Each structure stands twice: as C-alpha cells, then as structure tokens.
Amino acid sequence: MTALHAKTAPLADADLLVKRDQSRLIHPHLPGDTTDRIVMVEGSGCRLRDAHGREYLDATGGLMLAHVGHGRRELIEAAAGQMAKLEYYSSFHEFSNEPSIRLADRLIGLAPPPMERVYFTSGGAEAVDAALRMARLYHHRRGERDRTWVLARSLGYHGVSYGGAAATGMPMFHQGFGPMLPHVRHLTPPMPFHPEMYGGEDPTEFCLRELRETIEDIGAENIAVMIGEPILGVAGVVEPPGDYWPRVRELLASHGILLILDEVITAYGRTGHWFAAERLGVTPDFIVTAKGLTSGYFPMGALLVAGQVVDVVTRDEGFVGGYTYSGHATGCAVALENLAILERENLLAAATRVGDRLGERLRRLEELPVVGQVRQTGLMIGVELAQDPATGEPLPADRVPPLVRERAGVIVRNNPNTVLISPPLVMSDDEADRVADAVTEVLTEFATRRRSGPSAAPARELPVLDQP
Ligand code: PLP
C-alpha cells in the first residue's frame, strides 16, 4: 500500500499505549485476558495507520459508518467553522441553533413523504429509545393506554440502551442484564437462505402468519409498535423478499400499530439510496438513523417522524425528555457538509457500483464448500460460511478477520457465521479488488484445508428471548 502520511513515524510510545489500554480501558466485546490491541492514529480515504506504523485498508468503514472516508478536510473545516461561531447550545424548550434547523430541513427534503419532523440524538440507540417512547406516548395521548407492547424480531440489532437492547433479538445482549424492558415480543425475520427455519412454508407467508397470530395473541389493542431493520445488518446483511415490508406495513396499519424502521446502518447511501425504505417501497411512521449521518465525524443520530405522530406527541406539554446533546450545533454543521459531500461526489451511485463489483467477485466464492451464501445490497456484503462438510458444524467466521488483516492489511468483521464487509462509499475499484482478493485468498485456503463436500447453510435456530 502506498504510504498515507509518509512523514509520520510509528509512535515512540506505541507499546506503552497498548499496555495503558490493557490496564485502563473497557472495550466492548473483548475478553479480559486478550492482549492484542490495534491503536489507530491516522486515516485517509479507506486507509488507516496504527501507532506501530502498520497500514490497513478499512473494509468495514469503522462500524459501518465512514461513508465519505477518513480524513476529510471539508468536515474538519465545517466543525472548526461552527465551533468558532457557536460550538453548542441547548435545544430544549424554545432554544435552537442555525445548523440544526438547516439539517432538519435537509433531512425532511431527502426523506420519503410522511416524514415531517426530526428529533436529534447522540447516536442510534438513543434514537431507537426515542422512537419507542414516542410510539407509546402517541397511543397514550390518544386514549389507548394499553397499547404498550413492542414487536421486534429475532436476530435484529437495535443498540444497547435498555430500550434498544430489549428490542434486539440476540440473547447475548439480554443475558445477565435482565429484567429487560417488559412487553417486547420477538418474531421471526424472513431469511430465505435458511428454509429450515420455516418448516417448509414460504418465509414471507410464515412471517406474516406469525405476525397475525401474535397480534391475535397479545391483542391489537395492547400493541404500540413494531420495530425492524429494513435489511438485517449485524445479523448478516439479509434483504427480505420484496413483498415482506409492504405486507407487514399493511397488516400493522390495519390494526393501528405503528412501524419503526431502524435505518442506522442503511440510511444515507449505503444501499444506494438515501433511505432503504425507498428501495423497499415501505412508508413507516419512524425512521431511525445515525452512523452515516456524519460519517462518524461526530456522534449523532436523527429520528425522523411522520406527520400524524408529530401532531400527537408535540401537543399538550410537548414530547417530554431530551438529550443534552440533541441538535448539537457542531454535529449538525458536520452532518450538513457530510450530506453535501455524499451528493456532490455521487456516492449513492458509487455505493451501488463498487458494491456490485465487490459482490460479483465475492459471489464466486459460493463455489467453495466453505461458503454458504454471499449477500450484497449496495455496499453492505455478508459472506455466510457453510456447514463444515467434515463435522457438520458451522464454520467459525471469527477466524477470517484476523487472517485477512494479517495477510493483506484489510479490515473486515464477522458475526458468528458471516463475514461482514461495509467499506466507505469512496472505496476505489482497485481497493475493492484488494478486499476481494484478500477475502478470496483466506477462504480458498480454508476450503483447501477441509475435505470438500456439498456445501450447506448452517442450520439456523432462532434464539429464545421472550419470557412468558
Ligand atoms: N440500530 C442498528 C440497526 C445498528 O446497527 C446499531 C449499531 O450498530 C444501532 C441501532 C445502535 O447504534 P449506536 O451504537 O449508535 O447506539
């Protein structure tokens, strides 16, 4: 890789930093006895450099968010310019600031029609919580006070605040943290690649039948809202069959149940659209966004709310509760410039083009016995590993990222059985090819070390989440 910042030497105290990290920091998802650390110090485009001077290609966009790439001078200037004028002021009560008004207006201009107003937060989980609270308040204020239940989905991810974690359909976020928020029921998401989950029934029909039965069981008069990712992200990049969301929406609406689409990963270009809702032809009551809103240059989320909900939750004493950093002036100025870059540089089209190129290369891996399915929507890609033909066990995807990094300096992620790739939308064709080469090399080696046989998807069992 050509040097990023050629003049920058490894930090003299790089080893000391690692030691301090080990003794001072709590990292999410890191076992306490793990000693490895990668201390990033510089970034430019899709390239990163660590404290030891090692260089990397960022094929995950950090946590799926560095849409415009690292080291963008325009964003640094937007932040500095706003800080020089007014860094922050509260947006509670009647107070406001110029960038937050301009950004809200811009977002509503980009969003699908029923979205009318914006509520700013510091990240995705806060925006999920705000949506859940608004959904319950909406029914409460309209006199339907028993509508408190939340429908979510197994394998869905909605962050680790208590509301977000309760809606998340992965047991590791519940175990040891309970009791979780009550009145949450998890349903089956459609995953056509795993027919064993549906007992021979068509996945969409199964999910719709289950939704109908759940509404009957809980009682529509007790249900406030359903939340789901339009395209499952962390669970392995799973786009549902085209009729799933429109039919879910129709069924919910016929029972007066609201719909939250969690677009924390999918919004602002990752799928080749400003919002995945457009791609999937569904009009929710809430769209939750974060990540790509600022490409990570400022921690920020934005909840977009449909007009009929706005009318109710802003009446009387208004929507009670806000976050200190809601509508942060500097964050909003950064977001405005970030959206301008996405538009100016045509990065939505780039997401589709580079995503298709990567997808086309990686889909060839389906010929390997270790690969079950390669799924791609825009610039989000999941390479699901197959069942080991020798043992029948799902192949461990967690062995892939360290190998890909060591061999080629390319950073990818994994969930239990899927390798996840979600680079900045500015990734070049050459860089995309390098990512494809690196993943191909490692998986081909995996395959040659194993006895070849017919590939099979690992049987997917849904986690048991909801206590009666
Ligand atoms: N919702 C989805 C779909 C996400 O992928 C995430 C984070 O990855 C969140 C919510 C939580 O966002 P945050 O970590 O900013 O709270």
Mean pLDDT of 5-15: 76
107 φ/ψ sector (left φ>0, alpha ψ -120 to 50, else beta): alpha
- Cis amide prior to 241 (ω within 30 degrees): no
DSSP label at 365?
G
Q: Which two tokens stand for residue 262?
A: 């969690």
Task: Calculate what percentage of the chain has a pLDDT beyond 70.
Answer: 96
- Is there a domain that residue 462 lies in? no
Instruction: Say what the ipTM of the complex is.
Output: 0.99
State which amino acid sits at residue 445. E
Residues 176 and 287 in one domain: yes
Mark whether 83 and 123 lie in a shared domain.
Answer: yes
**Is residue 466, in this structure, part of any structural domain at all?**
no
Q: Is the CB of 355 under 6 A from ligand 1?
A: no
- 303 token code pair: 């909840």
Q: Could you tell me the distance, in angstroms and rounded to a whole number, from the CA of residue 292 to the centre of ligand 1? A: 11
CB 128 within 8 A of CB 93: no
Read off the pLDDT of each residue in 197-216 and give the average, rounded to a whole number.
Answer: 97
Residues 47 and 57 sit within 8 Å (Cβ to Cβ): yes
pLDDT tens digits, residue range 253-298? 999 999 999 999 999 999 999 999 999 999 999 999 999 999 999 9
From CA 460, how far away is CA 171, in angstroms rounded? 14
Low-confidence winner among 6-15, 293-302, 393-402 (lowest mean pLDDT)? 6-15
Domain residue limits at 366: 14-68+347-449
The Å distance, Cα 430 to ligand 1 centre, comes to 30
User: What distance in Å separates the CA atoms of residue 103 and residue 49, rounded to the nearest whole number?
Assistant: 32
Q: What is the DSSP string of 404-423?
A: HHHHH-EE-EE-SSEEEE--
Cis peptide before 463 (omega within 30 of 0): no
Taking the CA of residue 159 as reference, the ligand 1 atom at the shortest distance is: 11
Is residue 204 pLDDT above 90, yes or no?
Answer: yes
**pTM of the model as a whole:** 0.96
pLDDT at 451: 62
Look at ligand 1, atom 12, and give the residue with the nearest C-alpha.
124
- Cα–chain-centroid distance for residue 5? 30
CATH code for position 304: 3.40.640.10
**Is residue 452 over pLDDT 80?**
no
pLDDT digits (tens, 9 = 90+) for 360-381: 999 999 999 999 999 999 999 9
Has residue 459 been placed in a domain? Answer: no
Span 376-395, pLDDT tens digits: 999 999 999 998 767 777 78
Q: Give me the pLDDT at residue 454, please.
A: 60
Residue 158 C-alpha to ligand 1 middle, in angstroms?
Answer: 5
On the question of pLDDT at 5 being above 60, the answer is no
The crossing angle, in degrees rounded to 10, of helices 329-344 and 347-363 is 70
Q: Which of 208-212, 220-224, 384-388 has the lowest mean pLDDT?
A: 384-388
Q: Are residues 222 and 116 in the same domain?
A: yes
**Cα of 128 from ligand 1 centre, angstroms:** 9
Cβ of residue 296 lying under 6 Å from some atom of ligand 1: no
Q: Tell me how far apart the alpha carbons of residues 218 and 221 are, in angstroms, rounded to a whole number.
A: 8
Q: Is 31 exposed, middle or buried (0-12, 13-18, 19+ CB in 10 A)?
A: exposed
Q: Answer yes or no: do 100 and 145 share one domain.
A: yes
Which residue, by CA, sits nearest to atom 9 of ligand 1?
159
| Domain match, 328 and 400 both | no
pLDDT digits (tens, 9 = 90+) for 116-163: 999 999 999 999 999 999 999 999 999 999 999 999 999 999 999 999
Cα–Cα distance, 156 to 163 (Å, whole number): 13
Domain check: are 383 and 424 in the same one?
A: yes
Mean pLDDT of the chain: 94
Which token pair is 369?
């016995």
Best residue among 291, 303, 422 to mutate for probing ligand 1's pocket (most ligand atoms within 8 Å of CB) is: 291
How many Cβ atoms sit within 10 Å of the Cβ of residue 265?
28
Mean pLDDT of 37-56: 97
Instruction: State the pLDDT at residue 2.
Output: 43
Residue 248 falls inside a structural domain: yes
Sheet holding 115-121, edge to edge: 115-121, 301-306, 286-289, 258-262, 223-228, 149-153, 184-187
Tell me the C-alpha distance between 155 and 237, whole Å.
11
Q: What is the pLDDT of residues 320-359, one digit of tens each?
A: 999 999 999 999 999 999 999 999 999 999 999 999 999 9
One domain, residues 152 and 268: yes
- The atom of ligand 1 lying closest to the CA of 290 is 15
Q: Report in angstroms the alpha-carbon separations of 66 from 271, 293, 305.
A: 14, 10, 25
- Boundary (domain end) residue, out of 290, 325, 344: 344
* Counted domains in the chain: 2
